[in-house]
Amino acid sequence: MSIGGQTPAWRRVTEGEHRAGVALAVVALLILQFLVPRQYAFKPVWLIMALEAAIFIVLTIANPFRINRESAALRVASLLLVGVASFATLWSVGLLTYDMVEGKTDLTAVELVRNGAAIWLTNVLVFGLWFWELDRGGPAARANNRKAYADFLFPQMATPHVADADWRPQFTDYLYVAFTNATAFSPTDAMPLSRWAKFAMMLESAISLVTVVLVIARAVNVLGN
């Protein structure tokens, strides 16, 4: 597809996305996991965080500035990083949900909201990373234009005349998709095209809905007692 005879940037080989944005997201993810109450964290607590930090350091060394180097090992490491973070998030959501339903939590209303918010934000970051890692084969594959068809249709792709000619989706765009999906419980501007993208957005919405509803309900109950 070309616009005025020119192929859009998201369909061209590029120098790759800068690592700074996703690096900040991973650091924020580690901080949020550290802030989750120990009773809701996978034990030993240090294991998940150490594994994530080690994988991220390896990925940063391999692609320190621009994410454009492709290899099977790096791809597996990238997916493993997000997979471990997803496991930790689901673990926390599961334990929090169980305690809420059984009425076993002794947290105050403020603590419930704070911890629920930390888990909710972790969920947003994790799915933002999933969307970023999987769309068109991942950031390195996108930089080298390995896959023709996108998994997410951004407005700039459908209406290219409203965007700069060099526009292409980067981590911030996928994080925005994850955030709006977690708050609206549905797609907003970017549409999922592939089945995995639809399922991932459905799963994120479900986790967000359960977390928000249970935390608010329990907090109101605590305040009423």
73, with CB counted inside 10 A (0-12, 13-18, 19+), is exposed
Instruction: Give the pLDDT score at 222.
Output: 60
pLDDT tens-digit series, residues 9-42: 788 888 888 888 999 999 999 888 888 877 778 8
Instruction: Give the pLDDT score at 211.
Output: 83
The candidate with the shortest Cα–Cα distance to 81, out of 47, 58, 52, is 52
138-142, 147-151, 210-214: least confident range? 210-214
Q: Name the strand (E) or helix (H) holding 201.
A: helix 195-224
Average pLDDT over residues 138-157: 90
pLDDT tier, 125 (very low <50, low <70, confident <90, very high otherwise): very high
Average pLDDT over residues 61-74: 86
The candidate with the shortest Cα–Cα distance to 219, out of 66, 117, 92, is 117
User: Structural domain boundaries of the chain?
Assistant: 9-224
pLDDT tier, 44 (very low <50, low <70, confident <90, very high otherwise): confident
| Cα separation, 89 vs 87, whole angstroms | 5
- In 3-state terms the chain splits into helix, strand, coil percentages (rounded to 5) of 70, 5, 25
C-alpha neighbours within 13 Å on the C-beta side of residue 85: 32
107, with CB counted inside 10 A (0-12, 13-18, 19+), is buried
| Cα separation, 92 vs 49, whole angstroms | 14
| Token pair in block for residue 30 | 């580690």
pLDDT tier, 104 (very low <50, low <70, confident <90, very high otherwise): low
Residue 3 has pLDDT above 60, yes or no: no
